[in-house]
Amino acid sequence: MRNSWAISEAVADVAGVDLHLDLSGPGGVRAALIRALREAVRSGRLVAGTRLPSSRSLATDLGLARNTVADAYGELVAEGWLTARQGSGTRVAPRPAPRPAARRARPVPAVARPAYDLRPGSPDVSAFPRTAWLAAARRALSAAPHTAFGYGDGRGRPELRAALADYLARARGVRTDPERIVVCAGFMQGLALLGRVLRRRGIAAAGIERYGLWYHHQALERAGLRLSPLPLDEHGAQVAELDDRTDLRAVLLSPAHQFPTGVPLHPGRRAAVVRWASRVDGLILEDDYDGEFRYDRQPVGALQGLAPEQVVYCGTASKSLAPGLRLGWLVLPEHLVDEVLAVKSTGEWGNSALDQLTLAEFINSGAYDRHVRSMRLRYRRRRDELVAALAGRAPHIGVTGIAAGLHVVLRLPPGTEQDVLRAAAWDGLAMDGLSRFRYSEGEDEAEDRGERAFDGLIVAYGTPPDHAFPGALEALLRVLPGPAGG
């Protein structure tokens, strides 16, 4: 701080009220006077109808030019705090009474902060590549044309769409070009957009997998779609059912790694669902949320590569980088592009051009591949530790979905899921049970074509930061039920 002498506060009596002028704020003495008078009226210290001293008299008291005070009065009249009438001087304006139920201190919603978190949905955000991201941001912002800071079009930045077209072809076998990619603020926004487009096409119902994320289901239901769940087995969704459900012309699937069961869709079923879509002119919404993370062999390529005109490929940076970016992308069949843009280009669905430019540079520079590779190693190591610990200390617990992704499913003895979750919560371990992800049709559920509901746990080993993983694993082992009869 500069060492200087300056008047930083002045006090005047205005209609019996002490008026403190804080001269350290911006805008000089006039601004300070405006702030002080405004605050006095606002707080009720200067009540409605009170006549203020003349500008000349207050100026003298404060040692200011008369015009300064007159300007301040004028400004507050313009803002509606004061009134000025010929002959009656400047007065505090009448104000409506404040609402009775005015301010209460709003507590920040109590976010339960468990000691350990193995709930699915988030990658290990402690590993966000801050330095590499900033370096990409610097290069991207230096190179960006001025127009990148303007409104832009509904498709998203062309730099990012070009980078994604190349990356998705290379890494996920997606067939596309930049003109068929629409960037959106995360998968959820993409799903909401697609739901509306389906409704505009007159499609009233969509198939989903029996187990999935309830907020995905809600997004489709908010768009006005009726949902029809497909049963799941060890080969993924039983897509043959689509042939019997003649009201369906769209289906949401997670073919590379079904969420939450973790199985990939069987090759025969991949072919079958594409045949179905081709026959009924239907659409497959492919949720490829964690397609990059496959540990024991090459990633399973995207279904979209088989039938680009029947599949909408939905990708996201939420698992590969961070949910906080709110960046996802749709790869659309040619015939759907204009309809999606008609919904998206209304101005409500935008997202940051700066992050889009940065992600494009992050991908093009190879930093994205490096980050995915390093995270794949990290997650695989955790998965191996988890599987080994379970084999050693809870061999009676079945584990599925271990080949890919950021979570596995533990099968539990029937009727034990809620007890295990309660024990976990008691121990400071946040987890979700399989039943939470089962789509329920309410009244009809009892008649669910005899599908069995399974007891199980989702163990999202990708969620905690590295340092917390061993503790989380120990906590998990403590709360698992013993062998039958044990």
Positions in 213-242 near a copy of itself (CB under 8 A): 215, 218-219, 222
Minimum CB separation from a copy of itself for residue 130, in Å? Answer: 5
Contact with a copy of itself (CB under 8 A) among 71, 241, 427, 448: 71
State yes or no: residue 347 binds a copy of itself (CB under 8 A): yes
Tokens of 275: 């045949």
Contact with a copy of itself (CB under 8 A) among 353, 397, 459, 473: 353
Nearer to a copy of itself, 74 or 413 (CB): 74
Contact with a copy of itself (CB under 8 A) among 182, 300, 459, 472: 300
What b/e sequence results for 72-90 when a residue is b if at least 16 CB atoms lie within 10 Å of its CB, and e otherwise? bbbbbeeeebbbeeeeeeb
How far is Cα 132 from Cα 36, in angstroms, rounded to an integer? Answer: 47
54-62, 172-180, 237-245, 442-450 -> range binding a copy of itself (CB under 8 A): 172-180
Nearer to a copy of itself, 25 or 224 (CB): 25
72-80, 392-400, 415-423, 442-450 -> range binding a copy of itself (CB under 8 A): 72-80
Nearer to a copy of itself, 171 or 409 (CB): 171
Please report, as residue ranges, which positions from 414 to 453 form the binding site for a copy of itself (by CB under 8 A): none
How many amino acids of this chain bind a copy of itself (CB under 8 A)?
Answer: 108
Contact track, a copy of itself, 188-217, x by CB under 8 A: xx-xx----------------------x--
Minimum CB separation from a copy of itself for residue 265, in Å? Answer: 9
285-293, 294-302, 435-443, 476-484 -> range binding a copy of itself (CB under 8 A): 294-302
Please report, as residue ranges, which positions from 84 to 143 form the binding site for a copy of itself (by CB under 8 A): 93-99, 101-104, 106, 108-109, 121-122, 125-126, 128, 130, 133-134, 137-138, 141-142
Minimum CB separation from a copy of itself for residue 464, in Å? Answer: 10
State yes or no: residue 257 binds a copy of itself (CB under 8 A): no
Minimum CB separation from a copy of itself for residue 387, in Å? Answer: 21
Nearer to a copy of itself, 158 or 413 (CB): 158
Please report, as residue ranges, which positions from 6 to 65 form the binding site for a copy of itself (by CB under 8 A): 25-27, 30-31, 34, 38, 42
